[in-house]
Amino acid sequence: MEESLDNSESKRPQFGTRHLSDPQNVFQHNACWFSRLHFCYDHTKFRKKPSIEENGDGRILKNQDDLWQHNAWDNVVWGDEQMREAEAKLKLNSSSFMEEEAALKYEKEASQFWDRFYSTHENKFFKDRHWLFTELPELSEEQQTENPSEKEINTAGFPCQAAGFRILEVGCGTGSTVFPLLEANTLKKSFVYCCDFSPKAVELVKNNPEYDSSKCHAFICDLSEDNIKFPFPENSLDVILVIFVLSAISPEKFNSTIKQLSRQLKPGGRIFFRDYGRYDMAELRFKPGKCISDHFFVRGDGTRVYFFSQDELRKLFEDCGLVEEQNVIDRRLLVNRGKQITMYRVWIQCKYRKPA
Ligand SMILES: C[S@@+](CC[C@H](N)C(=O)[O-])C[C@H]1O[C@@H](n2cnc3c(N)ncnc32)[C@H](O)[C@@H]1O
């Protein structure tokens, strides 16, 4: 089967956790969610909700008799055997890299491949990412404090110069994050910038009935360029969201992209990153001939995907002068009980802050 882009990541519910303590119980659940969260936000009202652990609604498996009650497993620990199997699969599908000429075509035509993707799927592919508000409480009204450096920013002539809190989403696709943000941000003082290098994706964002140019500005932008032109000045953003986009860029460009993004952050501003982790099911499923370079593959539709390690992300962000606040691995097991199929997913989530 050809590797395809899959969006099961975005389907997780906002609240709740499950633990797999016995591997023989894998077919009891379909997915597992972060268990380290101790509170959750109702994104529509930004009210602090009692945590699953606090209110004891039974999502955390404490009693083995409850195993058949749920569909998902969280924080799965991989055994030695499973690691060996993963390494063997990776060795097989990465044993040789594709011809340079072919790899160059995927680099040069990257935006066209994504444009074709959005022409085919429009906005039916990625599910809304409402979970963001749980993972990034900084986005909530209650958490937004005035940044002392705000007064020094000269935003004259830029879209929404008056906003007190500026969010940028890069690689926004058709707006699976932007629209939940707009819906939730009842704040008068917030503004959301979003960009993608696929003109079709940006067009779909702008044509969405929820698009409101008084709260949002969508623009076309290629993050792999050396001199990215942003429609706002340096040191002007509070939060930059980098969600499942860096993996689509060539690894040689990672440093330049993150450096340019961090320049746009206010001192004290943050980059929030979430993307594929090494040995994710999608990486192990690639067939030989699809590998461009280590952990970098091309899908059947010509879009590319990289699989990260926590250490390389730490080095990447810290080399760009940012300070680590979070760098966690999310190992999740999705289970199709009907077909008795297990899917081991690996995602990495990070938060890095620009020092004051
Ligand atoms: C896997 S999709 C994720 C979309 C969205 N962030 C989400 O999580 O639903 C990757 C997105 O990154 C965009 N992208 C890939 N390379 C890019 C680049 N060099 N500059 C800007 N956008 C890029 C693609 O067009 C696509 O919309």
- Identify the residue with better confidence: 25 or 339: 339
- Is residue 346 over pLDDT 90? yes
- Predicted confidence at residue 62, as pLDDT, reads 47
Residues near ligand 1 (Cβ within 6 A): 110, 114, 126, 171-173, 176, 196-198, 201, 221-224, 243-245, 248-249
- Nearest residue (by CA) to ligand 1, atom 27, is 173
Distance 15 CA to ligand 1 centre (A): 26
If you measure from the C-alpha of residue 257 to the centroid of ligand 1, how many angstroms do you get, rounded to a whole number?
A: 13
Q: What is the DSSP string of 140-172?
A: SGGG-PPPGGGGG---TTSTTTT-SEEEEEES-
Average pLDDT over residues 216-227: 97
The 8 Å CB, 24+ separation contacts for 21-27 are 21/61, 21/64, 22/64, 22/67, 23/79, 25/67, 25/73, 26/73, 26/333, 26/335, 26/342, 27/335, 27/337, 27/340, 27/342
Q: Which amino acid is at 4?
A: S
Mean pLDDT in residue range 164-192 = 86
Which atom of ligand 1 is least distant from the CA of 241?
Answer: 6
Residue 296 to residue 117: CA distance in whole angstroms: 19
Return the closest-CA partner of residue 332 out of 71, 15, 64. Answer: 71
Helices (H), 208-349: 254-264, 281-284, 310-319
Task: Give CA–CA dist 33/94, Å, rounded.
Answer: 30
- What lies within 8 Å, CB to CB, of 45 at 6+ separation is none
Segment 163-170 shows an average pLDDT of: 88
- What is the model's pLDDT at position 52? 32
Q: What pLDDT does residue 261 have? A: 98
Q: For residue 6, what pLDDT is reported?
A: 56
The residue whose CB lies within 8 Å of the most ligand 1 atoms, and thus the one to mutate among 117, 179, 196, is 196
Enumerate residues 6+ apart whose C-beta is below 8 A from 51: 37, 38, 39, 40
Q: What is the mean pLDDT of residues 269-290?
A: 97
Q: 219 with 180: CB under 8 angstroms?
A: no
Confidence of residue 339 (pLDDT cuts 50, 70, 90): confident
Contact 258, 316 (CB under 8 A): yes
| Residue 333: its H or E element | strand 323-336
Query: Above 70 in pLDDT, residue 215?
Result: yes
**pLDDT of 217 strictly over 90:** yes
Beta bridge partners of 238: none
Specify whether the CB–CB gap between 320 and 242 falls below 8 A.
no
Mean pLDDT of the chain: 79
**10 Å Cβ neighbour count for 26?**
17
Q: What does the pLDDT look like over 74-118, one tens digit per residue?
A: 878 788 999 999 999 999 999 999 999 999 999 999 999 999 999
Alpha-carbon span 351 to 356, nearest angstrom? 16
pLDDT at 265: 97
- Span 174-178, average pLDDT: 92
Q: What predicted TM-score, i.e. pTM, was given to this entire model?
A: 0.83
Comparing 56 with 6, which gets the higher pLDDT?
Answer: 6
Please tell me the predicted confidence (pLDDT) of residue 154.
58
The residue written with tokens 């539709």 in the block is 301
